[in-house]
Structure 1
Amino acid sequence: MTNPASLHSERRQLIWKRVHQELIKHAKPDSRSHYDFLTFTPDFRESSYAIARLAQLPCYESATTILVTPDNSLEQLRLRALKDGKKVLVGTYRLRRGFVMLSPQRISEHHLEMASLLDGMERPGIGRLLTLAQMKDEGIHVDLCVIGGLAFNTQGVTVWEGHGLFEVQWALLHDMKVVAGQTPVVAVAHQCQVVDESDYGLERIRAEKPGEVQCDFVVTPEKTIEVQGAVKPTTGVKFDTLDPQALDNIPPLQELKGIRTMEQIMKEGGFGADKNEGEKTPTAEEQLGVSMVEKIMKGFKV
């Protein structure tokens, strides 16, 4: 009997293979990764038209703070948003250095273009690295998420994500109440990256994977697709099902693990101590949580 999950994966792979054949004709090469779409999400010809369409959406116009994934295709959006006076939150590559906040009020006008570049936003005087705890303490709230990607369907489901780790970013920020379940999500893509499965004789791919985020809009240079009833996760990170390698390689996940451990310790009134027995030595798991918080906070000092 064929595994449904295997068939689901095969459909995604088939679609991506066909999209790749077209995307290579329209994509702009990366200065270091050339056309290796497994390491970056490319910008594409006429992406400025897609950005202009996005900027007309009411959810963009009303947004104060926007989460923008670190994709080449969104470089012009980051610059446009900063010029429009909006704060831009960007996850670093593979989230290895967490998140960077770009505040146009703190960046001189002649440095805005530098701030929009992945290689420029972390330079002194440009962006500010933020921990999850700092976001919570400062009351940061994301009003809109904009993502790049390699392939989407017409229902706003990411068929092939690339390296952006948006679902991880959503789970982290939802856990810290930086994004809410109703926060709009917009995908920006070339028209060849947006597919209707029926054109390939395939069953529609739905947002059914754990933690999968369905987009409210898909914007291309030619049109804006609005999705009704987009599905978004209502829970944060589930560490019991998390790939151990992800925890090892993504500092914000380590920070969240530490925060949760500390919250549990505080809830229990000390390191699991019995009020009649006095304070006890922390357990190995509790000490791991404390160490994670200390390590993350030390690494993010500004």
Structure 2
Amino acid sequence: MTGPPSINAERRQSIWKSVHHDLIQHALPDSRFHFDFLSFTPDFRESSVATDRVVELPCYKAAKTLLVTPDNSLERLRHRALKDGKKLLIGTYRLRRGFVLLNPERLNEDEFERASWLDGMERPGIGRHLSLAQMQKEGISVDLCVIGGLAFSTTGVVVWEGSGLFEVQFAMLQDIKALKGMTPVVAVAHSCQVVDEAEQGLERIKPEKLGEVQCDFIVTPERVIEIEGAVKPAARVQFDALDPTALDNIPPLQELKGIRMMDQIMHDGAFGETNGKGKEKEQATEKTPTAEEQMGISMVERMMKGFKTV
């Protein structure tokens, strides 16, 4: 049984309702989802101006690999980043097919625009699907995160995220050390999506949810808001705290759990350690995996054969 929503949750919902009323006037409809903002994050008029502001940020200029959420509002940013020679790591819709890496060095310049489309990046010869294990093996290192969203506070709190699952992506990549907790986060939004709670007579929302990521910059067509001391989570993915359906619906989370279990098995079983006679410890070979450990082994075996998402 679920209890009543917290005051903080009610405050977030109140802000989102207010933003939704204004956003509908500026957003561009999606070809499939129309104005169903819970199914996608919309592009908006003059988003190209916001993109021009993002590319002038020092953190953008210095970055070599960007994590970019699969939002309509970031299509121009993805195109520009490829033209600027930056690699893009993009989560597929609700992470159902994991992550796609776009490498401009492997694309012709006339393919950059198609690669920036959500319906184009997964076409043969454009983007490359990467498992978490492949990211580890290839040493993927994210220098900057650029996200869309539905509502933000002027203090960099993501009030209403939408369908991008950015915080899940951030946590998983931090878990496998493909991203550092100090990695800058830039949010791109229409000005109506950025709310000062004080102007609405509301108490400020603080980043207090488990795994919540506070933005370092919020960029609109009119201005750049820089947030000092943005809060980033330091903990690994907490599987016990996840929504019960998340593990079933997000294949990279399944892979991460398998990696975590395999690491624990290797640690507990002391694989590779030898005794004084140079033989592997008998306890490592005789130990029978638990049911949960066996599930982790199975996940890793599937991953080693070539991780496939559904």
- What band does the TM-score fall into relative to the shorter chain? over 0.9
Structure 2 partner of 1:136 = 136
Q: CA deviation at 1:299?
A: 5.2
Alignment of 1:85-100 (within 5 A): 85-100=85-100
Normalised by the length of structure 1, the TM-score is 0.95
Query: 3-state SS of the aligned residue for 1:268?
Result: helix
Q: Which residue of 2 aligns with 1:69?
A: 69
Runs (5+) with no aligned partner, structure 2: 272-279
1:285 corresponds to 2:292: yes
> One-letter code of the match for 2:178?
V
* TM-fit CA distance, 1:296: 3.8
Change (3 A) 1:204 1:65: same
Change over 3 Å in CA distance of 1:238–1:174 after alignment to 2? same
Look up the match of 1:25: 25
Could you report, residue by residue, the CA deviation over 1:34-85 in whole angstroms, capped at 9, with x for unpaired residues? 0000000000000000000000000000000000000000000000000000
Q: Number of aligned pairs? A: 299
Aligned to 1:151: 151
Of 227-236 and 275-284, deviating more is 275-284
Would the aligned equivalents of 2:269 and 2:283 in 1 still touch at CA under 8 Å?
no
Over the aligned positions, Cα root-mean-square deviation in angstroms equals 1.9
- Greater shift, 174-183 or 3-12, is seen at 3-12
| Change in 2 beyond 3 A, CA 1:274/1:86 | same
What SS does structure 1 have at the residue aligned with 2:229? Answer: coil
- Whole-angstrom CA distance in 2 between matches of 1:276 and 1:239: 29
Partner in structure 1 of residue 252 of structure 2: 252
Q: Which residue of 1 aligns with 2:44?
A: 44
> 2:270 touches 2:284 (CA, 8 Å); kept in 1?
no
Q: What residue number does 1:226 align with?
A: 226
243-252 vs 290-299, greater mean Cα deviation: 290-299
The letter for the 1-side match of 2:227 is: V
Maintained 8 Å contact 1:89/1:99? yes
What is the rounded CA distance, in whole Å, between the counterparts of 1:160 and 1:121 in structure 2? 26
Where structure 1 has 5 or more consecutive residues not aligned to the other structure, the ranges are none
Structure 1: which amino acid aligns with 2:298?
S
Distance, in Å, in 2 between the alignment partners of 1:247 and 1:277 is: 29
Amino acid at match of 1:53: R
**Is the 2:54–2:60 Cα contact (8 Å) retained in structure 1?**
yes
Per-residue deviation at 1:244?
Answer: 2.2
Question: In the alignment, is the contact (CA less than 8 A) between 1:92 and 1:100 conserved in 2?
Answer: yes
**SS state at 1:140 partner:** coil
